């Protein structure tokens, strides 16, 4: 079914089937959720992913998403985790690989906020 255009109070609106509306919303939510996250690396020619870069981006994305869910700024999370803001910033930009101890500190701080 094609979309229908209607004008109300001088504004144009599009009427479309509910399922199409939901499909578009899901797509938009995915893009919104990706905003501000470091990109995952593209696969190599052989289909494998560069391990270090993928791990950095994956850890960074997880920390950013969880930090946003609990409503903390980078500075607040860094303070609560006992790490430098600069360190957390580099981790979230996928510029460095954090140590296990650093990840555990961040994890504890995030869990405390849930």
- DSSP code for 96: S
Domains and CATH numbers, the chain: 51-113 (1.10.260.40)
Say what angle helices 100-113 and 51-70 make with each other, to 10 degrees: 20
Q: What is the pTM of this model?
A: 0.71
Q: What is the pLDDT of residues 23-79, one digit of tens each?
A: 777 665 555 567 789 999 999 999 999 999 999 999 999 999 999 999 999 999 999
């Amino acid at each position: 079914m094609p979309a229908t255009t209607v004008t109300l109070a001088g504004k144009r609106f599009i009427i479309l089937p509910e399922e199409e509306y939901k499909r578009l919303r899901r797509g938009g939510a995915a893009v919104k959720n990706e905003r501000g996250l470091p990109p995952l690396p593209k696969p190599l020619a052989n289909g494998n992913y560069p391990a270090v870069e993928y791990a950095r981006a994956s850890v960074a994305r997880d920390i950013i998403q969880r930090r946003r869910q609990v409503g903390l700024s980078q500075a607040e999370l860094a303070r609560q985790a006992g790490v430098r803001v600069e360190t957390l910033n580099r981790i979230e930009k996928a510029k460095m690989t954090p140590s296990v101890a650093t990840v555990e500190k961040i994890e504890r701080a995030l869990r405390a906020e849930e």
